[in-house]
């Protein structure tokens, strides 16, 4: 096994918070790009019961926060630590998805060296809970800073097959 800082394993990406951030009048019941809110990201993954969309034009105005297959979404303001994994099935259903400003994208950068199932088991383990207990910022509205979260150290087996086996085993336990 080896120890790595989180920012060596995933890119941590904020949602766009700029002047083009959508206002309530920019949301629709259907459209081109699904715009996630914290209700869509739960402890055990995505919840797509309530959806809001933005237009293709509004989507093009935003710079950060667009999901790609194999991204993890972490709630980072208010409701802390909920996690969802954007897989091929989600992409098939929702090919264009953006996070809101209360979320972070954790985008794997070592796909050929680190198993996504293992990463998911790490993220669903105690690592996020422990980090939040000791390192979240704010009392009125607690939040996770990208900078501090990127310094979290995780232990990873060097062998990717071992990672996959561990990830699949822990997913089975979690599903049970």
Domain 2-175 top-level CATH class: alpha beta
Tokens of 59: 């989507």
Distance set, CA 152 to CA 1, 70, 123 (Å): 16, 20, 11
pLDDT in tens, 52-75: 999 999 999 999 999 999 999 999
DSSP string, 32-101: SEEE--GGGEETTEE--SS--EE-HHHHHH--S-B--TTEEEEE-BSS---EEEE-HHHHHH-SSEE--T
pLDDT of residue 104: 94
pLDDT of residue 138: 57
Distance set, CA 30 to CA 26, 51, 87, 89, 118 (Å): 11, 8, 21, 19, 34
pLDDT by 10-residue block (mean), the chain, 176 residues: 92 88 95 94 93 96 95 87 94 97 90 85 82 64 78 90 89 78
Place of tokens 């954790």: 106
Sequence spans of domains, the chain:
2-175
pTM here? 0.89
pLDDT of residue 134: 72
In contact, 74 and 81? CB cutoff 8 Å:
yes
């Amino acid at each position: 096994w080896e120890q790595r800082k989180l920012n060596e394993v995933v890119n941590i990406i904020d949602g766009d918070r700029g002047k083009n951030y959508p206002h309530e009048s920019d949301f629709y019941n259907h459209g081109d790009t699904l715009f996630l809110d914290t209700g869509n990201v739960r402890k055990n993954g995505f919840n797509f019961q309530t959806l809001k969309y933005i237009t293709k034009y509004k989507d093009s105005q935003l710079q950060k926060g667009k999901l790609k297959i194999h991204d993890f979404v972490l709630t980072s303001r208010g409701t802390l630590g909920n996690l969802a994994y954007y897989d091929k099935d989600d992409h098939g259903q929702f090919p264009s998805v953006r996070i809101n400003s209360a979320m972070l994208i954790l985008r794997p950068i070592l796909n050929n060296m680190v198993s996504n199932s293992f990463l998911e088991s790490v993220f669903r383990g105690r690592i996020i809970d422990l980090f939040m207990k000791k390192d979240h910022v704010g009392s009125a509205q607690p939040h996770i800073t990208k900078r501090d979260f990127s310094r979290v150290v995780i232990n990873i087996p060097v062998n990717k097959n071992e990672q996959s086996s561990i990830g699949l085993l822990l997913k089975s336990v979690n599903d049970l």
